[in-house]
């Protein structure tokens, strides 16, 4: 399908050039106009820019690291929840019901929204989008480093190995490092 689309674009490009070059040779300005017009219609320059811009690949790798970190933390929380639910203390059962969103202090949702915004702005997110993402990433990182519930889970007395702050922090660091590569 992709090759068929490129064939159609190439044929359109030839037709435009034939139309504009019918009875005379083109000036440099006219040729430039045709190229700009064709590029705008077909997205050819956008494709070339994407190939030259390393950010999309760096960003995809960072998002994958974040997703892996998030999945590891979800597993850790699930393990702790299982232990808490087995306890006879209703307070421990209540803690088990909050899950990861409570531990991230509602900072995870803005991180996920920022990731989606950057993904939809490819190949090149604007500075406002990047700034908003950096703020969301920083807010979660700060929360993880200072929240008493995160520290309590990381040092739980149930023998469940957890490292929420470091695990999610590593994913956030990858996202922040990728942001620094945008628009360079």
**Taking Cα atoms as reference points, which of 156, 145, 151, 165 lies closest to residue 80?**
156
* Percent above pLDDT 90 for the chain: 52
**In this structure, what token pair is assigned to residue 66?**
């974040």
pLDDT tens digits, one per residue of 88-99: 888 888 888 876
Model pLDDT, residue 33: 58
CA trace torsion 171, 173, 177, 179 (10° rounding):
70
Identify whether the C-beta of residue 140 lies closer than 8 Å to the C-beta of residue 168: yes
| Nearest one of 65, 85, 88, 87 to 77, comparing CA atoms | 85
CA distances to 83, 91, 106, 152 from 162, rounded to whole Å, are 13, 20, 20, 10
Give me the residue label for tokens 């989008």.
Answer: 129
pLDDT higher for 24 or 150? 150
Distance, in Å, from the CA atom of 17 to the CA atom of 42, rounded to the nearest integer, reads 14
Q: Is the pTM of this model over 0.85?
A: no
Give tens-digit pLDDT for 49-74.
Answer: 456 788 889 999 999 999 999 999 99
Per-residue model confidence (pLDDT) at position 34? 61
Whether the pLDDT of residue 47 is over 90: the answer is: no
Mean pLDDT computed over every residue of the chain: 79
Write down the pLDDT at residue 184: 66
Structure tokens at 35: 């190229």
Show the tokens assigned to 157. Answer: 């007395």
Model confidence at 20: pLDDT above 70: no
Give 87-132 pLDDT, tens digit per residue. 888 888 888 887 655 888 889 999 999 999 999 986 679 999 999 9
């Amino acid at each position: 399908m992709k090759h068929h689309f490129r064939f159609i674009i190439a044929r359109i490009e030839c037709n435009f050039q034939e139309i504009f070059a019918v009875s005379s040779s083109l000036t440099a300005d006219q040729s430039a106009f045709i190229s700009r017009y064709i590029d705008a219609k077909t997205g050819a320059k956008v494709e070339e820019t994407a190939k030259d811009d390393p950010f999309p690949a760096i960003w995809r790798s960072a998002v994958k690291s974040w997703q892996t970190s998030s999945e590891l933390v979800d597993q850790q929380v699930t393990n702790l929840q299982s232990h808490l639910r087995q306890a006879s203390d209703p307070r421990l059962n209540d803690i088990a019901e909050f899950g990861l969103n409570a531990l991230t202090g509602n900072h995870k949702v803005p991180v996920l929204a920022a990731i989606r915004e950057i993904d939809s702005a490819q190949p090149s997110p604007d500075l406002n989008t990047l700034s908003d993402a950096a703020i969301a990433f920083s807010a979660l990182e700060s929360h993880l480093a200072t929240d008493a519930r995160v520290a309590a889970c990381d040092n739980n007395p149930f023998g469940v190995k957890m490292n929420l702050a470091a695990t999610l922090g590593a994913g956030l660091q990858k996202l922040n490092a990728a942001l620094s590569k945008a628009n360079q």
